[in-house]
Structure 1
């Protein structure tokens, strides 16, 4: 899980570094880099590219594309640690979607954690005048759609291979973002090619190692480690982009992370 967090941190840093490029072009290269892994895997293992739950696969891909685009847009406008922290409230939206769409119960203690996490989000924006409002909205929209992604994947269940789900997502992002980026295309120069293509590599390995962690240990033990990404991203932002975090911002992040970690531990312990 720590390796996964590092990989996602490098992805976040890469997006910030490539700030001069339009977000659609960044999404395009993010998808392209991952397709170098998903296509060979499916071909080698003779897994159908089409899948079984086609409508849900397409829906997951479109919703995921919106979430990723909004997140990358927020990174361009916000300190990276702040953007990541806000995106991590996605499980709250997922729980709310599950309540209304899947009729799942939310334990009373979870409401306390959710309220605390939202208070942390309000601390990031409500008390901080240096937080870009548009970037804040983009991050919230990303969290909302990421929560919906969780629900769609739950509906797909085990009826499609995980790599099929990822491949659908990457192909959809590659095509749609590629078309949308034509108008804003900037020709990469030198190291920028490497940085753009590495986005997909970091994203792919971040996902793979997170999956491995969840497969080899109890979720309540390893899932909280994923939030180390916030710490890694903050440190990277301070070192590479001279980002500035106030005490209020740090306290807001701590409140969000603590609330979500406690939610994971309590829910999994009671299952």
Structure 2
């Protein structure tokens, strides 16, 4: 029996790593949502990157990257795009909650299909892809419409999060042709750290209210330092486990298993006492996940 179990685990190693990544992402999102009661979203972006950067720099120092290079501008663009996506993520978590934010995040295959069609002339959408695109966007409309207690602007940030994630995946694929994956991640984290520092300086010294772009510094106290460490380590877990998953499994399978982040988020919201989204929103979430899964399969 034991050899069979070992064989099963070995064959499904990539799926296992992606499940761990999704769980880490859901837990990170939950911690961020709890912390957002006291900290502005831009300060959470700072915390998220401040913990991971030292580990990444140590890795690059111990094992220097071997890479082609020559596309510094593109690497910087990837970093800025990643920083913007992080802003969207933490702002959406604060205003939309776990399950809705992660549903928007999992809609990225829909936007990848559209961007690929627009930017790559020889890529065309077949009738099946068009059908599932429409199903996915119908789900997004169902999530938008019934949530009268949520501001449409907040839902728009959720959509921007999905679009930023899609562009980020495409940028990573291109950047990895020229740079070690650790440098691609470093550009993302360094840009997020720098941008959040600027946002906090503007908000604190300029006395601007907390918003998408600005935030007034809140000094952490006591156990909040532990929360910051957990937030950063879970973010590192997301990146590490996703990288390992992609080593052992196809991208389409990894993307499909990544949808489990939404299920984990719903479970966490129930445990935290927030309950389930209403029935129409649940239908919308299901349509988004089905459309994204089918599009990722191509």
Q: TM-score, normalised by structure 1?
A: 0.92
Q: Which has the larger radius of gyration?
A: 2
In the alignment, which residue of structure 2 is the partner of 1:44? Answer: 62
Q: Which runs of 5+ in 1 are unaligned?
A: none
In the alignment, which residue of structure 2 is the partner of 1:16? Answer: 33
| Displacement after TM superposition at 1:174 (Å) | 0.9
- Report the number of matched residues: 266
In the alignment, which residue of structure 1 is the partner of 2:24? Answer: 7
| Displacement after TM superposition at 1:211 (Å) | 1.8
Give, in whole Å, the separation in 2 of the partners of 1:187 and 1:4: 30
In the alignment, which residue of structure 1 is the partner of 2:223? Answer: 191
In the alignment, which residue of structure 2 is the partner of 1:242? Answer: 274
Are 2:174 and 1:155 aligned? yes
Deviates more, 1:173-182 or 1:162-171: 173-182
Give, in whole Å, the separation in 1 of the partners of 2:223 and 2:66: 36
Give, in whole Å, the separation in 2 of the partners of 1:11 and 1:255: 25
Residue deviations 1:82-111 (CA, integer Å, cap 9, x gap)? 111012212222222222223333333111
Q: Which runs of 5+ in 2 are unaligned?
A: 1-17, 205-215
Q: 1:46 to 1:222 in 2, by over 3 A?
A: closer
Q: TM-score, normalised by structure 2?
A: 0.84
Indicate the SS of the match to 1:159.
Answer: coil
Contact 2:113 2:295 (C-alpha < 8 Å) held by counterparts: no
Give, in whole Å, the separation in 2 of the partners of 1:232 and 1:119: 23
Are 2:265 and 1:233 aligned? yes
CA RMSD in angstroms, aligned pairs only: 1.9
Contact 2:68 2:178 (C-alpha < 8 Å) held by counterparts: no
**Which one of the candidate residues 67, 80, 94 is aligned to 2:98?**
80
Residue deviations 1:155-183 (CA, integer Å, cap 9, x gap)? 32421111100011111111121121131
Contact 1:4 1:205 (C-alpha < 8 Å) held by counterparts: yes
| Displacement after TM superposition at 1:48 (Å) | 7.2
Give, in whole Å, the separation in 2 of the partners of 1:106 and 1:192: 48
In the alignment, which residue of structure 1 is the partner of 2:82? Answer: 64
Give, in whole Å, the separation in 1 of the partners of 2:284 and 2:168: 25
